[in-house]
């Protein structure tokens, strides 16, 4: 079973098009990480794309696909918002078992080992709530044609869809029938494209129709994730701090517009795929005429920067040169080390990293404090402080051993109940983990 991906530009050849991301560069960074992680865990990874996608992903970024098919320029007659047509057309071209993986999906294990005998597989089953319902209510009155398989959904007799972050299987005949129905759903409503939200329409001719089609054909679907999610309530799909223990991330919807998640993805690529990162920075510099803000990295330089920062943490003497870059590279993946130390009840040193400023603000006559945390090549992010944060940061103002820190924090806690003490310890450990994610503390043993 081979892995396939599809990229269609929507006949848009502006490199700085953000394709729904927080910033355009994260779209390209996502493709870098998705491809590299797939190639790392699978023998065959093929790309279906158009000429613009080939120019960026293959010619310029030189992503290591095993085969590339430049076949999606034929889609340019479709409205640019109908992005799922690239997937549907790519499915239709398959004559052997496959798994299609979206460009915002990242894996740390093999998918084909798990699903090599699955007839049909998708990421997870989805409950369609009023969120999809409102979209459908806006779209459906303008449609000239609707497949018979959509009747149950349209009449509110069914409320499910399949999230297709991954999709595929061995049942090629099913995919031939499904894609024919999906394309007909779009093509027979060509006169409606200007009067409907095409971006939202993708959900229905792709995900909802797929689910309803499986039911009409009495087909069983296997899922990568057994948990059933509501259509607008996905959690944990951008948790880079849990990698590699968490082996699947999907930056769908809100995650690709989250600056912190995007930055975590960027740092991961900096650290582990520095050659590709340097290639994308070259393109960004060309697009923006900027040759100063973005670092060019090599594996050797990364190792040197991480070692330097490790020494600076131990001496609590941080050198300003490349400070944010060193901090980002050193703290990537550090939450796993912290959680292992906490789980094994081992002592360690906690050091406050001075890459932030504490500020106060007044809103509606209420005063509150927050941290403004500085980011490399991005706007600062903020973290609002509560009373416990204020106390913790006071105790962390100088390097301190973990057990000493807990002892001092217990002085603020008067409840003698053992369950309450345990809850307080869990709270403190959770704050420390969060501070590592925020990159305001580091640890060493």
Work out the average pLDDT over 441-445. Answer: 96
pLDDT in tens, 354-395: 899 999 988 877 888 999 999 988 889 999 999 999 999 999
Spans of all domains in the chain: 2-264, 298-444
pLDDT of 292 above 80? no
Given this model, what pLDDT does residue 368 score?
Answer: 86
pLDDT of 293 above 60? no
CB 165 within 8 A of CB 96: no
Half-sphere exposure of 34 (CA within 13 A, CB side): 26
> What confidence tier does 80 reach under pLDDT thresholds 50, 70, 90?
very high
Distance CA 382, CA 373 (A): 6
Given this model, what pLDDT does residue 421 score?
Answer: 85
pLDDT of 288 above 90? no
Given this model, what pLDDT does residue 418 score?
Answer: 78
Burial profile 271-298: b = 16 or more Cβ within 10 angstroms, e = fewer: bbbbebbebbbebbeeeeeeeeebbebe
Distance CA 380, CA 241 (A): 19
Given this model, what pLDDT does residue 183 score?
Answer: 98
436 exposed, middle or buried (CB, 10 Å; 0-12, 13-18, 19+)?
Answer: buried
Given this model, what pLDDT does residue 364 score?
Answer: 79
The total number of residues shown for the chain amounts to 445
Q: Please give the mean pLDDT across all residues of the chain.
A: 94
239 exposed, middle or buried (CB, 10 Å; 0-12, 13-18, 19+)?
Answer: middle
CB 98 within 8 A of CB 76: no
Work out the average pLDDT over 254-280. Answer: 95
Distance CA 127, CA 232 (A): 9
Residues facing 127 on adjacent strands: 160, 230
3-state secondary structure of 135: helix
CB 69 within 8 A of CB 95: no
pLDDT in tens, 192-219: 998 899 999 999 999 999 999 999 999 9
pLDDT of 16 above 60? yes
CATH code of the domain occupying 2-264: 3.90.550
- Report how far apart the first and last C-alpha atoms of the chain are (Å, whole number): 45
416 exposed, middle or buried (CB, 10 Å; 0-12, 13-18, 19+)?
Answer: exposed
pLDDT of 420 above 70? yes
**Minimal CA–CA distance to 107: which of 99, 119, 98?**
99
> What confidence tier does 58 reach under pLDDT thresholds 50, 70, 90?
very high
């Amino acid at each position: 079973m081979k892995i396939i991906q599809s990229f269609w530009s929507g006949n848009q050849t502006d490199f700085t098009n953000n394709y729904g991301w927080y910033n355009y560069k994260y779209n390209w960074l996502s493709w870098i990480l998705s491809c590299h992680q797939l190639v790392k865990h699978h023998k065959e990874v093929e790309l279906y794309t158009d000429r613009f996608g080939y120019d960026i992903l293959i010619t310029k970024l030189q992503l290591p696909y095993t085969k590339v098919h430049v076949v999606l320029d034929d889609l340019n007659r479709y409205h640019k918002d109908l992005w799922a047509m690239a997937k549907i057309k790519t499915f239709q071209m398959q004559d052997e078992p496959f798994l299609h993986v979206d460009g915002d999906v990242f894996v740390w294990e093999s998918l084909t080992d798990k699903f090599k005998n699955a007839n049909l597989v998708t990421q997870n089953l989805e409950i369609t709530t009023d969120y999809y319902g409102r979209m459908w209510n806006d779209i459906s009155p303008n449609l000239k044609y609707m497949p018979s398989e959509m009747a149950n959904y349209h009449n509110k007799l069914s409320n499910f869809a399949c999230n297709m972050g991954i999709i595929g299987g061995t049942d090629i005949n099913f995919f031939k029938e499904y894609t024919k129905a999906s394309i007909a759903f779009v093509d027979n409503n060509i006169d409606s494209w200007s009067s409907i939200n095409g971006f939202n329409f993708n959900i229905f001719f792709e995900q909802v129709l797929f689910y309803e089609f499986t039911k009409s054909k009495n087909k069983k679907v296997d899922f990568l994730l057994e948990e059933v999610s509501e259509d607008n309530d996905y959690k944990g799909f951008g948790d880079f701090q849990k990698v590699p223990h968490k082996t699947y991330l999907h930056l769908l919807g809100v995650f690709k517009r989250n600056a912190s998640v995007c930055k975590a993805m960027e740092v991961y690529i900096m650290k582990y795929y520095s050659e590709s990162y340097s290639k994308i920075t070259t393109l960004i510099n060309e697009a923006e005429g900027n040759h100063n803000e973005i670092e060019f990295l090599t594996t050797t330089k990364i190792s040197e920067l991480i070692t330097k920062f490790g020494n600076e943490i131990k001496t609590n003497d941080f050198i300003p040169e490349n400070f944010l870059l060193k901090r980002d590279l050193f703290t990537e993946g550090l939450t796993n080390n912290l959680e292992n130390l906490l789980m094994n009840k081992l002592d360690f040193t906690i050091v406050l990293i001075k890459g932030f400023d504490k500020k106060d603000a007044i809103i509606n006559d209420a005063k509150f404090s927050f941290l403004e945390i500085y980011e490399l090549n991005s706007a600062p992010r903020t973290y609002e402080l509560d009373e416990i944060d204020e106390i913790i940061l006071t105790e962390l103002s100088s390097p301190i051993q973990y057990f000493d820190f807990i002892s001092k924090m217990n002085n603020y806690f008067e409840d003698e109940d053992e369950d309450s003490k345990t809850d307080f310890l869990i709270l403190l450990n959770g704050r420390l983990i969060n501070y590592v994610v925020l990159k305001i503390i580091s640890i060493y043993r």
